[in-house]
Each structure stands twice: as structure tokens, then as C-alpha cells.
Amino acid sequence: MELFGVNSPLHININYSLHSEGAKFVVGLAIATAVFAMFCKTLTVICALLMLFCLFFFRNPKRVVPAAENLVVSPADGTVSYIGLEVPPDELEIGSEERYKVSIFLSIANVHVTRLPFSGTIKKIVYCPGSFINAVHEKSSVFNERNTVVMELRSQGGTVAFTQIAGMLARRIVCDLYEGQEVIKGNACGIIRFGSRCDVWLPAGVTPCIAVGQTMIGGETVIANLKSKTKELLQCTKS
């Protein structure tokens, strides 16, 4: 949305989008704010602040996705909390060979819209009920409520899997995908409400080019280069 003309000194370019999951919260709180404004200032302020928080939390900013087909991008905003070689869970059915798992912790301040790490076909979606321990802990990948999407890569072959994991405050995982769907890297595919974690299983033999503690931007930050089949960390910005 643009206010005033492009060449105006008062030109303002507003790039804001709200995820559909947040619309009902914002509308409900806006109505409550208007009602309470007639007789209770305290409740009016509380509802208005909650509405502003929802506008912030459910934001869905546009992202510039790397064009190179061989690059795997982060499915979420947050901080890398774990990188390690592990055997994928049996329920994913992607083999027993060790592959790198990258875990990203999302704080309450991060964008919680999840995005597709690669272009391909949705092969399988596995939902597992569980508990709601703090998502910063590695054991949350095993014990917490989670939803895993397995993708067949369109151009490179192999599989990538990513998991939406509920946290201590998160009580709802939304996944907008279905099995057999053709998808494009970087597109929004769901949301995790109020603090969570996201794991990525790279194809066997592919090494991530990120480090623990690194800040990730969903749909933009490169996690790995599928052409890099060594055990050393490589520059992923090269196609």
C-alpha cells in the first residue's frame, strides 16, 4: 500500500501482510476494544494492546527467495540451536542413513509463518501428538507435538523433511499442505502459534553451511547447497 505519490516527500511504502490465522484474533479484539471503550478504560487498553500484539505476531512479511535451484532455504525465522548427524525417525520413511538435522528455535518475537525449504512434491505428512516442553531443548524434537512434511526434490533428487514443533506456549500447529502437492521454495505453508521450533532434515550426504547461534530468515537464509557433497562447511551462495 502506498500513501501519497512516489515522488512526494511524504511518500510511505507500507509492506505488511497478516497471516489468515491471526485475522480472527485481530477482529475479535478490535470489536472488544470498541465495546469496552464505552464503559471501561482499563479493559479497552488491555484489548487494544493484545490486538497490537496479534498484529505483530501474525505478520507475514514478503521474502526474497534465492533463485538457484540447488539451494535449501530456512523454513522459519529464528536462531539455529542444533546441527548434527542423526538417523531420521522411522515414521518419516526416508531411510536409515544418517543425515544432518538443523534445529531452529523461534522466540515469541520471531515471525512464526513457516516456509517451504525447497521446490518439489509433498510425499508425506506425519502428525505426532505430544507434550509442550520448552522448544529450546533438543528433546522437544522427540517429545513435543509436531508435524513433519517430507518432500521429494524436484530438480536434484532425494528428500528434504522439515518439522513444525509446538513449544511451551504454542498450542496449535497449522499446515496448509497436502500429500501429492507440487510446491515452490520460499512460499508460506503454515504457522506455529506462540513460540516454537522447526527442524530440517537435509538429504543424505549434504552438509549445512550454517552455524549454531546463527540468525535465520525464513525463505531467504540458505541452509545448504545440494551440490556440496562433502563433510566440510562450504559457501552456499554459489550456485
Would you name the residues annotated as active-site residues? 196
CA 148, 152, 155, 158: dihedral to nearest 10 degrees?
A: 100
Q: How far is CA 20 from CA 54, 76, 108, 152, 230, in A?
A: 11, 17, 18, 27, 41
Q: How far apart are CA 38 and CA 172, in angstroms?
A: 33
Q: How far is CA 203 from CA 7, 39, 124, in A?
A: 48, 59, 15
Contact between residue 163 and residue 150 where contact means Cβ atoms under 8 Å apart: no
Cell of 31: 470489536
